[in-house]
Amino acid sequence: MSVHVSGTGAGTGAGASGEGAVLKRLSIPEFSARKGQEPLVCLTAYTFPMAQRLDGHVDLLMVGDSLGMVLYGFDTTLPVTLDMMIQHGAAVCRGSKTAMVVVDMPFGAYQESPEQAFRSAARIMKETGCQAVKLEGGREMAETVSFLVRRGIPVMGHVGLTPQSVNTLGGYRARGRGDQEAAGIMADAIAIAEAGAFSVVLEGVMEQIAQAVTARVSVPVIGIGASAACDGQVLVAEDILGLFSAFKPRFVKRYAELGNDIEEAAERYAREVRARSFPGPDNVFGAIKKHG
């Protein structure tokens, strides 16, 4: 549970957790200060109700472009647009109060140039109210990260297995099996951190690399399919809740089977409608009393 509270100050005399205290979102400096401390808890959220449920349990809500696959049924994240990310990002910000919200930059919205990245990131920040954007890529994106950060946009990096590059990578297999690939991942993480990213997501890599990157890089490294030694973890909420069954990567752990609960509820509802036992007397206005 992670709720960040600050005093309202001004005349109330309220202490940090006293009467009149207001809930405050975790800030970028507070997030960065957690390097090597208590692990940072991150989950994706794409919608208002999911953000409401997860906020207060996590440090960071990530509006990932994985929503293209999880919510929209696309085969990859590539068809996701900037407008889609903005709509979902704004809903998650409305549904949360204490978690930091980071919104993914979708494929094609930032790779062309630092200027294009700035225009996209500025729209995301203005139209959603999120605290930061995330973009995929290593050394080739360092200049862009630095351009954004110097202009007031906090950036989270994402290296290792980068789903927007699925076509060049040739699939979603774990990265860094060979020495050369492992060295490349390390160089990517260092480049993005040195360019000013406040944190780096490290996805789908051999555990040894995850540990080495976490030890070497000065900002929090958030693992997904990486290692418990990372500074934090992120997973797709629908994956841990059993709501996405297209495929289940090895690194996903199921904490609930809500997909089954939904099917059972729908089946009961269908049965009751067909039997005319729903709606019952409690579900209609001015119910007619049945005699005998």
Q: Closest separation between CB of residue 236 and ligand KIV, Å?
A: 5
Asked if 145 is part of the footprint of ligand KIV (rule: CB under 6 A), the reply reads no
Distance CA 170, CA 173 (A): 8
Long-range pairs of 133-137 with CB within 8 A, sequence gap ≥ 24: 133/102, 133/103, 133/104, 133/105, 134/62, 134/64, 134/102, 134/103, 134/104, 134/105, 134/158, 134/201, 135/104, 135/105, 135/110, 136/162, 136/163, 136/164, 136/165, 137/111, 137/162, 137/165, 137/188, 137/192
Site string for ligand KIV, 198-217 (x = CB under 6 A): ---x-x--------------
Asked if 155 is part of the footprint of ligand KIV (rule: CB under 6 A), the reply reads no
Distance CA 36, CA 42 (A): 16
Nearer to ligand KIV, 115 or 156 (CB): 156
Residues in the chain: 292
Phi, psi of 277 (to 5 degrees): -95, -10
List the catalytic residue out of 127, 136, 140, 203. Answer: 203
* Interface segment toward ligand KIV; rule CB under 6 A; list 30-38, 64-72, 85-93, 172-180: 64-72
* Interface segment toward ligand KIV; rule CB under 6 A; list 57-65, 92-100, 171-179, 184-192: 57-65
Site string for ligand KIV, 227-266 (x = CB under 6 A): -------x-x------------------------------
Nearer to ligand KIV, 150 or 254 (CB): 254
Q: Is 203 a catalytic residue?
A: yes
Q: Hey, which residues are catalytic here?
A: 203
Interface with ligand KIV (CB under 6 A): 44, 62, 64-66, 104, 158, 201, 203, 224, 234, 236
